[in-house]
Amino acid sequence: MRYELYYWPTIQGRGEFVRLALEEAGADYVDVARKGKAGMRAMTKLLEGTRVPRPPYAPPFLKAGKLIIGQTANILFYLGGRRGLEPRDEAGALWAHQLQLTIADLVTHIHDTHHPISGWLFYEQQRPAAKLRTRDFWRYRVPKFLGYFERIIVKSGGPYVLGRRLSYVDLSLFQVVEGLRYAFPKRMKRFEKKVPRVVALAARVAKRPRVAAYLASKRRIAFSQWGIYRYFKELDA
Amino acid sequence: MRYELYYWPTIQGRGEFVRLALEEAGADYVDVARKGKAGMRAMTKLLEGTRVPRPPYAPPFLKAGKLIIGQTANILFYLGGRRGLEPRDEAGALWAHQLQLTIADLVTHIHDTHHPISGWLFYEQQRPAAKLRTRDFWRYRVPKFLGYFERIIVKSGGPYVLGRRLSYVDLSLFQVVEGLRYAFPKRMKRFEKKVPRVVALAARVAKRPRVAAYLASKRRIAFSQWGIYRYFKELDA
């Protein structure tokens, strides 16, 4: 089956978690909105179109045959079972999904470091709040979230989150580590010493042949100041 | 099976979405942490215990036999399939889950109206940011989120989100409507005119025999200033 991924064409954003899963799985897919204006129109039509019985709330969403699936973690849950990116047993699949939802919570916190007030305002319009939120984020959230994943890797025996086999959770954790390195290079460098297994996992994911080929390709959009992870020197103090 | 729900004993919080599902399903369950100190100890042990192979990141979590399931939407997905609270076909179950994840996003926005900076600070320490975030929330987020659910009910034919049969999504939407009424009585009263189907759905859910019995019981914790939904007069202007 040829999957159709719908996501904003110029950013990694939440779509990147899906792109990484599709790439690692060697899936046949089209990144629709990156195919020019017609692609963007197609995306808008599915979001707003009156003929769509079950329109998603927002991108990313995946079209698989007639099925349209929204919400990043839900897409990964669907793909995981079909593309060998999650355990085959129900308990294992639910566990992987639970971890993915935990990553989703972390991603919201990351976004809110630079936009704690509103996505409709510029960073410069919410700078004092951003500084405070970032301080809180690095004091409490990062240690708790990444410390949790470090602990889970210890429990599973590693090297991946669930143990010896890679799952979509690893791809997402890799993406978060890379994003934090982009947005907070100094802070992250200091922090990485505390989560050696998470860091080793990210390196291992980056070296997987399909992931490495993807990262080196034009299909991988670069980190930028328009995505979830943004670099502001004053927030990285 | 007797389910064990683990959640903070004095607030509705995210645990309430699970409580409502268990109640509507007529499930046999224990709200463990509300059973005194021993209950709280049991919860802490599962969160932090070294013997738990797959510890959840945070409450709520559900113990079903040997299985421990965390993340609210994941718990509902698990329960939904077993207790008749979601469609039986895979596409329908994924759709219900997608909508629940959209509600989860809204719930985070609701919480952040009064705590946009940090959950470790008092409201009074982040009041200016809270005012700005609340303005944004009512200007953009509420119309978009609740407007989306209104549109979905039109598409499904109603009276419930998925159509003629109740799902856990309806229970959660009811809870959100009630929470917004508690936290923002004036704003919500004005806004409700714009989403008549959502409002009618909430009223219908409240009248279901098992839900009504639950709401009238001591098992239902009252809304309070410690939960997701908090009332501050200045935010309801």
Does B35 share its domain with B78?
A: yes
- The per-residue pLDDT for range B91-109, each reduced to its tens digit, is 999 999 999 999 999 999 9
Q: Is the ipTM of this complex over 0.95?
A: yes
Strand order from edge to edge, sheet including B3-6: B29-31, B3-6, B61-64, B67-70
Please, what is the average pLDDT of chain B?
Answer: 97
- The per-residue pLDDT for range A135-190, each reduced to its tens digit, is 999 999 999 999 999 999 999 999 999 999 999 999 999 999 999 999 999 999 99
Question: Is residue B237 scored above 90 in pLDDT?
Answer: no
Report if residue A223 sits inside a domain: no
Percent of chain A residues past pLDDT 70, beyond the cut: 100
Cite the DSSP H helix spans in chain A.
Answer: 15-24, 36-48, 72-83, 90-114, 127-136, 142-156, 168-183, 185-191, 196-207, 209-215
What DSSP character marks residue B117?
S
Q: Note whether B186 and B236 are within 8 A (CB).
A: yes
- At position A36, the amino acid (one-letter code) is G
Least CB–CB distance from A117: residue in B73, B121, B129: B129
Does A45 share its domain with A121?
A: no
Does A155 share its domain with A204?
A: yes
- The per-residue pLDDT for range A203-216, each reduced to its tens digit, is 999 999 999 999 99
Contact state of B94 with A78 under an 8 Å Cβ cutoff = yes
Report if residue A219 sits inside a domain: no
Least CB–CB distance from A98: residue in B56, B98, B120: B56
- Residue B173 belongs to domain with CATH number: 1.20.1050.10
- Residue A56 belongs to domain with CATH number: 3.40.30.10
Give the Cα separation of A206 and A166 in Å (integer): 12
Least CB–CB distance from A69: residue in B98, B112, B148: B98
User: Which chain B residues are Cβ-neighbours of A140 within 8 angstroms?
Assistant: 118, 120
Mean pLDDT of A191-211: 98
pLDDT the model gives residue A223: 97
User: Which chain A residues are Cβ-neighbours of B133 within 8 angstroms?
Assistant: 116-118
How many A-B residue pairs are in contact by the CB < 8 A criterion? 103
Question: Is residue B232 scored above 90 in pLDDT?
Answer: yes
Question: Is residue B63 scored above 90 in pLDDT?
Answer: yes
- The per-residue pLDDT for range A95-133, each reduced to its tens digit, is 999 999 999 999 999 999 999 999 999 999 999 999 999
Contact state of B101 with A155 under an 8 Å Cβ cutoff = no
Report if residue A213 sits inside a domain: no
Last residue within a domain, chosen from B62, B82, B102: B82
Does B128 share its domain with B47?
A: no
Give the residue from B63, B72, B118 with the most A CB atoms within 10 Å of its CB, the best one to mutate.
Answer: B118
Report if residue A220 sits inside a domain: no
Question: Is residue A50 scored above 90 in pLDDT?
Answer: no
C-alpha of B203 from chain center? 16
Last residue within a domain, chosen from A67, A83, A99: A83
A17 — contact with chain B (CB < 8 Å)?
no
- The per-residue pLDDT for range A161-174, each reduced to its tens digit, is 999 999 999 999 99
Report if residue A214 sits inside a domain: no
Does B77 share its domain with B179?
A: no
Contact state of B74 with A132 under an 8 Å Cβ cutoff = no
Does A105 share its domain with A194?
A: yes
Percent of chain B residues past pLDDT 70, beyond the cut: 100
Does A7 share its domain with A49?
A: yes
User: Which chain A residues are Cβ-neighbours of B108 within 8 angstroms?
Assistant: 105, 108
B74 — contact with chain A (CB < 8 Å)?
yes
Question: Is residue A66 scored above 90 in pLDDT?
Answer: yes
**Dihedrals phi, psi of A148, to nearest 5 degrees:** -65, -50
User: Which chain A residues are Cβ-neighbours of B97 within 8 angstroms?
Assistant: 71, 74, 77
**What count of other Cβ atoms lies within 10 Å of the Cβ of residue B199?**
17
Give the Cα separation of B63 and A88 in Å (integer): 21
Q: pLDDT higher for B136 or A49? A: B136
Whole-number Cα distances in Å, A84 to A2, A26, B127, B211: 17, 11, 48, 40
Question: Is residue B205 scored above 90 in pLDDT?
Answer: yes
Least CB–CB distance from A70: residue in B70, B98, B155: B98
A70 — contact with chain B (CB < 8 Å)?
yes
pLDDT the model gives residue A221: 98
How far B67 CA sits from the closest chain A CA (Å)? 7
Report if residue A74 sits inside a domain: yes
Does B128 share its domain with B200?
A: yes
A227 — contact with chain B (CB < 8 Å)?
no
B127 — contact with chain A (CB < 8 Å)?
no
Percent of chain B residues past pLDDT 90, beyond the cut: 97
Does B211 share its domain with B122?
A: yes
Does A171 share its domain with A62?
A: no
Give the Cα separation of B161 and B138 in Å (integer): 22
Q: Note whether B130 and B111 are within 8 A (CB).
A: no
Q: Count the domains in chain A.
A: 2
B149 — contact with chain A (CB < 8 Å)?
no
Give the Cα separation of A53 and B156 in Å (integer): 7
- A34 SS3 class: helix
Does B206 share its domain with B120?
A: yes
Least CB–CB distance from A74: residue in B54, B98, B117: B98
Show the domain range for A142.
90-208+228-236
Does B99 share its domain with B183?
A: yes
Contact state of B71 with A108 under an 8 Å Cβ cutoff = no
Report if residue A169 sits inside a domain: yes
Question: Is residue A237 scored above 90 in pLDDT?
Answer: no
Report if residue A222 sits inside a domain: no
- The per-residue pLDDT for range B107-161, each reduced to its tens digit, is 999 999 999 999 999 999 999 999 999 999 999 999 999 999 999 999 999 999 9
Last residue within a domain, chosen from A83, A114, A136: A83
Interface of B with A in 18-57 (CB under 8 A): 53-57
